[in-house]
Amino acid sequence: MNLVELQSGGRLRTEARVLVQAPLACLGHQVRLADGCTLRSVFRLLTAYPDLIRLGEFYPSLIERYRECPADGCRWEAFDHLALSKTVEMVGYPGKPRLDIYNSLHGVRAEQPDQPEEIRSLDLSFLLDMPLRLGPLRHVVFGDRVDLFSFETAYTLFEFIDSIAWELSFHGTPRECKIGS
């Protein structure tokens, strides 16, 4: 699989260290995060490559919210970093067996790295400067007992962008209800 690396400033580089000019051609490539990437790096990516904003109907409103945030200092001190992770859940008896696959963006505390923390109640202005990492795939098997497995995994550029945008689309706390207002 081809690979692109997201730089902290929002630009993409190929494995050969060449700056990407046409990001749509790289949507199926595996993404890697360079040192120093934060959630703000994702928004810098979208503004550096405006074609990417057309990938989802709620992307323009996310960009508007991003532009309203402070230029720095947007951190939630309770978390060490944010992580994008994949989950595969196998659900069996009782009922009809099914397989659920989804990605989620969550906070991670250094002292409890295996306990993802919900971020939906936090405004974007508390998250932009949080370090961003790509987490593992969690495989959950529900049955007579719950079995959890963790695996290294890869994320495509599209999966990375769309998963983060999807998660952030649920962040809509009115200004009057923001923590710290």
Per-residue pLDDT of 87-100, as tens digits, reads: 888 777 667 888 88
Which residue in 36, 59, 58 sits closest to 46, CA to CA? 59
111: CB partners within 8 A, 6+ apart? none
The pTM (predicted TM-score) of the whole model is 0.86
Q: Does 175 score more than 90 pLDDT?
A: no
| Assigned token pair, 13 | 């580089």
CB 39 within 8 A of CB 127: yes
* Confidence label for 17 from pLDDT (cuts 50, 70 and 90): very high
Spell out a b/e string for 25-56, using b for 16 or more CB atoms within 10 Å of the CB, else e: ebbebbbbbeeebbbbbbbbbbebbeebeeee
* Amino acid at the residue 90: M
Lowest mean pLDDT among 62-66, 83-87, 95-99, 177-181: 177-181
Q: Does 143 score more than 70 pLDDT?
A: no
The span from the CA of 125 to the CA of 175, in Å, is 11
Q: What is the share, in percent, of the chain residues with pLDDT greater than 70?
A: 88
